[in-house]
Amino acid sequence: MTDQHNIAKLLQPQSIAIVGASPKEGTPRHSLVKNLLKHGYTGRVYPVSPTNPEIEGLKAYTCVGDIPEVVDVALIITPAATVAGIIVECGVKGIENAVVFSAGFEEVEGGEINAQRLAEAAKKYNVRVIGPNCNGLWSVKHKTIMSFSGAALRIEKINHAPIAVLSQSGALSGAISNALNNSGLGLSYIVSVGNETCTDVINIAGDIIEQDDVKVVALYLEGLEAANRILPIAERARQRGIQIVALKTGRSAVGQEATASHTGKIASSHVVYADVFAQAGIIEVNSIAEMIAAVEVLAYLPNPRVGSDDKRGVSVLSVSGGAGALLADHSSEMDLTLAEFGADTMQTLDGILPDFARKSNPIDLTGQVNSVPTLLEDSCRAVVADPRSEALIIQFASTVKRHVDANEAVFKELAKDMPIFLSIIGEAISQEQRKSFMEAGVLVCADPHATISALSLLYRRRHAESMPALPNRAPAAARSMPDTWETTMQFCQDSGITPAPWAVMKAGDSAAEACAHLNFPLVVKVLPSESDHKTELGLVKLRVQSFDDVDTHATEFRQKLNKADAGILIQEMVSGGIEIVMSCLRNTDFGPVISIGTGGVAIELYRDVTHLSLPVTEEQVLTAVKKLKLWTLLEGFRGAPRADIEALVAAAVKFGDNFLAAGEVQEFEMNPIIVRPAGEGLCTVDALVN
C-alpha cells in the first residue's frame, strides 16, 4: 500500500494541473476543466496549454514548469507520444501523482513503446501514474471530479455514500456511478484504472480500503496480474469493516475474447477467480444490476444477529400467505434457514393473532392486519424479541403505503437489533423515504426473490468476517524438481500422501524379477512421462493376476507407443476409498494455486473441483472442500465409512508448501488419490509433473 500522505494528495488534492486543457466546448480536454468547476472543487486549478492564455476564466500556463506551485495531481490529456516527457516534467517539478487520460498505449498496435517510455519515466521520477487510457477519478466528499466523464457533466448533484467503485472499464465506471446516483444512493470514490501501465486496480484497492468514508468497494474486473495480492487487502478490509464486491468478466470463450481485445489481457479461468474470491471473503456478483443491489445492502445494513441456538434463522411476517411461501422457497434455494420460534414467542403470538392465522415461521398475518391497528407492530416486536431471530422480513401485498407510513418509526427502532427487510409487491415508496429507511438499517425490496438475495449477502459478509487469518508461516526449504518416478513418489510421500507399492520395468526386465515384492492383483500401465492419456489409449490394465500377464501387457504397451525401451509401471492395485484429484498449478492470474476435487477418469465430466491460492491453511482447505459434492462422499455416503478427511486436509497444506518450494515445477497433479477410511490416510496411484 502507498504512503497515506501520497494517496491523500491523489484523492483529496488541494491543487490540480490540467495538462492539455482546451477551451473548445464538448471536447474531453474541456470537460476535465468543466467537471472540476461544476461540482464545486475549492482547490487551485492550473490549466496547461501552450496556445491558450485562459480557459474557463482560469489563467493557463505554457508548460508544467511554469505552474507557480507543486500541485498535488497532474491530469494529462495530450498525444500519447508526449506523455512520457510530461511525466518527466512532473517529476522534475516534484509532482507525485498523475492521471493520464490519453489513449495510444498498450491498447493499440504499436503503442507498447509509448507505454514502456511512460513506465520508465514514472519509475525514474517516482511519479504515481493512474492510466493511461482511463476515465479518471471521483472524490465525491471533497468535490473533486477529475474526469472528462459525460456522466459527471450530466449529474447536477453527486450524492456522497460510503461506496467506492474501482473499474478496469472507463465507460462502465461512469455508467455504474450514474446508476448509483440516480437511485438516490451515491458514492465516495470512482477510480478508472485504464491500462494499468504503472498502477493497477489492486494497488488502488489497497489505498481505498484505508479511507474513512468507505464501507463497500465494488470492483469491475477484466483480468488481474499477481492477483494473490488481493488476499491480504481483503483481509485488511474485513478488519476495517469494509466489504469487497467483484464483478469479473471473461467467463465465456466469447467474453474472454472481447476482454482481450479491449484491454490487452486474456482472462484466466473464471472458476479460479470465483474460488479464490470466496477464499478471500470477496463477494462475487454476476451483473451490474446485482452489483448495485449488493453495494446498497452492504453499505447500510448490519449483519444478521447471531441466534441463540441451532434453530436460529430468518423470521418472516407476511400479509400474503402466497408471498410468505415464496419467501420460504427462496430462502431454501439460497441456503438460508427460517427460525423456529421458541415457546414464549408462540404464546405471545397466540395472544396477538387470530385463531385461524399461521403462527409458526413464516407467519401469515391474515387480513386482520388491516382492521387491528397494532397487530403488525405487536407481531414484529414479538418476533424480534425471540433470541433465535437473526433478521426480519415483512412481506406486504396491498395497502402498502398505509402500513409502511404507520409503522415507519417501529421498523427503524427494530432495525437497531437486526436488519429489517420490507418486501413490497406492486407499489412504490418515494426515493426519499426509501433512503431514510436504508440509513436506519431497513431495506425496501421489490419482491420476495430480491429480498432473500439481499439478505443472503449479509450472511455471506457475516461468514467472511469470521474467516481465519491468512497463513503466516516460514516457507518450506527449497527443493528440486522431481525428474523420475522415484523422486516424484518421494515428493508425494513428503506431502503425507503414500504411494501405492510400485516397481518400474525397464526394457529387458522380467515381471517375476522386477515385481517379486508386489502383491497381486496388479495394475500395469505406462509411466506418466510416456503418455498423458493412458486410459484413453488403452495403456492401463487392471486386476492383473500373473507375472506372465504383466510381461504380455508390457510388450503390448511398448508396441502401441512404438517405443521398445518405454518404462512400464507396475503397482499394487488399491481398492476401496474415495478417488480425488489434487494438483498445483503455478502460472495462473493468482500465481500458484492448489486444486482439490472429485478425481478419476471423470474429472472433466463432473468438474467438481475447488481452487485455492497458495499457501493455504487447514481451515481454508476444509471450508473449500465442504462446498463440493465430494464432501458428501467423504463424510460417508449410504453407510460407507467416513473418509480420512483430516489426512486429506493436512496433505493439501503440505503439498502446497512443497510445491511453492519447488520453483521449477509448473504443474504437479495426482489423480487419483485414494482417500481411505478415517485413520488410514491417503494413497496415490498416479502423478504427473511438468
Q: How far apart are CA 93 and CA 660, in angstroms?
A: 44
Asked whether residue 491 is domain-assigned, the answer is: no
Mark whether 219 and 332 lie in a shared domain.
no
Q: How far apart are CA 171 and CA 109, in angstroms?
A: 21
Mark whether 316 and 283 lie in a shared domain.
no
Domain span at residue 633 reads 578-689
Mark whether 289 and 305 lie in a shared domain.
no
DSSP 243-289: EEEEEE---SHHHHHHHHHHHS-----HHHHHHHHHHHTPEEESSHH
Bond before 615 cis per omega within 30 degrees: yes
Mark whether 558 and 583 lie in a shared domain.
no
Region 229-258: mean pLDDT is 83
What is the phi-psi region of residue 57: left when phi exceeds 0, alpha when psi lies from -120 to 50, beta otherwise?
Answer: left
Q: How far apart are CA 455 and CA 419, in angstroms?
A: 8
The per-residue pLDDT for range 429-438, each reduced to its tens digit, is 888 999 999 9
User: Which residue, 517, 577, 527, 574, is CA-closest to 547?
Assistant: 517
Percent of the chain with pLDDT over 70: 96
Q: How far apart are CA 567 and CA 572, in angstroms?
A: 17
Mark whether 455 and 603 lie in a shared domain.
no
Q: In the chain, count H helices and then E strands.
A: 25, 30
Mark whether 143 and 27 lie in a shared domain.
yes
Q: 72, 10 in Cβ contact below 8 A?
A: yes
321 falls in which pLDDT band (50, 70, 90)? Answer: confident
The per-residue pLDDT for range 153-169, each reduced to its tens digit, is 888 899 999 999 999 99
Mark whether 557 and 582 lie in a shared domain.
no
Domain count, the chain: 4
Dihedral, 253, 254, 258, 264 alpha carbons, nearest 10: 20
Q: CB-side exposure of 636: number of CA atoms within 13 Å?
A: 8
The per-residue pLDDT for range 487-543, each reduced to its tens digit, is 999 999 999 999 999 999 999 999 999 999 999 999 999 998 887 677 778 899 999
Q: What pLDDT is attached to residue 398? A: 65
Q: What pLDDT is attached to residue 199? A: 96
Q: Is 507 helix (H, G, I), strand (E, B) or coil?
A: coil
The per-residue pLDDT for range 373-405, each reduced to its tens digit, is 999 999 999 999 999 999 999 998 766 788 899
Collect contacts of 433-441 with beta carbons under 8 A, ≥24 apart: 433/404, 433/408, 434/184, 435/184, 435/185, 437/408, 437/411, 437/412, 438/296, 438/300, 438/301, 439/300, 440/411, 440/412, 440/415, 441/300, 441/301, 441/302, 441/412, 441/415, 441/416
Mark whether 185 and 250 lie in a shared domain.
yes
Q: How far apart are CA 370 and CA 403, in angstroms?
A: 8
Q: How far apart are CA 425 and CA 408, in angstroms?
A: 18
36 Cβ contact partners less than 8 Å away, ≥ 6 residues apart: 16, 18, 45, 144, 145, 146
Q: How far is CA 220 from CA 248, 286, 641, in A?
A: 6, 11, 45
Q: How far apart are CA 106 and CA 111, in angstroms?
A: 5
Q: How far is CA 37 from CA 102, 212, 326, in A?
A: 21, 25, 50
Asked whether residue 15 is domain-assigned, the answer is: yes
pLDDT at 268 over 80: no
User: Which residue, 606, 551, 550, 599, is CA-closest to 579?
Assistant: 599
Region 233-251: mean pLDDT is 93
Asked whether residue 318 is domain-assigned, the answer is: yes
Q: Residue 683: give its domain's CATH number.
A: 3.30.470.20
Region 451-478: mean pLDDT is 94
250 Cβ contact partners less than 8 Å away, ≥ 6 residues apart: 222, 223, 256, 259, 266, 267, 268, 270
636 falls in which pLDDT band (50, 70, 90)? Answer: very high
Eight-state DSSP code of residue 338: B
Mark whether 382 and 432 lie in a shared domain.
yes
Question: Which of 299, 320, 353 is the last residue in one of the domains?
Answer: 299
Region 543-548: mean pLDDT is 96
DSSP 95-131: --EEEE----STTSTTTHHHHHHHHHHHHHHT-EEE-
Question: Which of 572, 604, 631 is the last residue in one of the domains?
Answer: 572
Q: What pLDDT is attached to residue 252? A: 56
Region 680-689: mean pLDDT is 93
User: Which residue, 529, 528, 651, is CA-closest to 582?
Assistant: 651
Q: Is 477 helix (H, G, I), strand (E, B) or coil?
A: coil
Asked whether residue 470 is domain-assigned, the answer is: no
367 falls in which pLDDT band (50, 70, 90)? Answer: confident
Q: What pLDDT is attached to residue 198? A: 96
Mark whether 416 and 319 lie in a shared domain.
yes
Q: Residue 546: give its domain's CATH number.
A: 3.30.1490.20
Task: List b or e across 603-629, with b for residues whose CB sees 16 or more CB atoms inside 10 angstroms.
Answer: beeeebbbbbbbbbbeebbebbbeebe
Q: At what angle do helices 431-439 and 288-300 cross, to 10 degrees?
A: 50
Q: How far apart are CA 175 and CA 470, in angstroms?
A: 35
Asked whether residue 567 is domain-assigned, the answer is: yes
> Which amino acid is located at 234 in the chain?
A
Provide the β-strand partners of residue 585: 593, 667
Rounded to two decimals, the pTM is 0.91
Count other Cβ atoms within 10 Å, centred on residue 178.
16
**Exposed, middle or buried, 191 (CB in 10 Å: 0-12/13-18/19+)?**
buried
Asked whether residue 550 is domain-assigned, the answer is: yes
Asked whether residue 485 is domain-assigned, the answer is: no
Region 571-584: mean pLDDT is 93
Asked whether residue 549 is domain-assigned, the answer is: yes
User: Which residue, 623, 626, 624, 684, is CA-closest to 655?
Assistant: 684
Q: 83, 76 in Cβ contact below 8 A?
A: yes
Q: 153, 91 in Cβ contact below 8 A?
A: no
Q: Is 145 helix (H, G, I), strand (E, B) or coil?
A: strand
Of 3 and 376, which is predicted with more confidence?
376
Mark whether 328 and 272 lie in a shared domain.
no
Question: Which of 241, 268, 299 is the last residue in one of the domains?
Answer: 299
Region 261-267: mean pLDDT is 29
User: Mean pLDDT of all residues in the chain?
Assistant: 92
Q: Residue 459: give its domain's CATH number.
A: 3.40.50.261
Mark whether 101 and 203 lie in a shared domain.
yes
Region 453-457: mean pLDDT is 97
pLDDT at 361 over 70: yes
Helix residue ranges, H only, 484-636? 485-494, 511-514, 547-561, 603-606, 618-625, 630-636
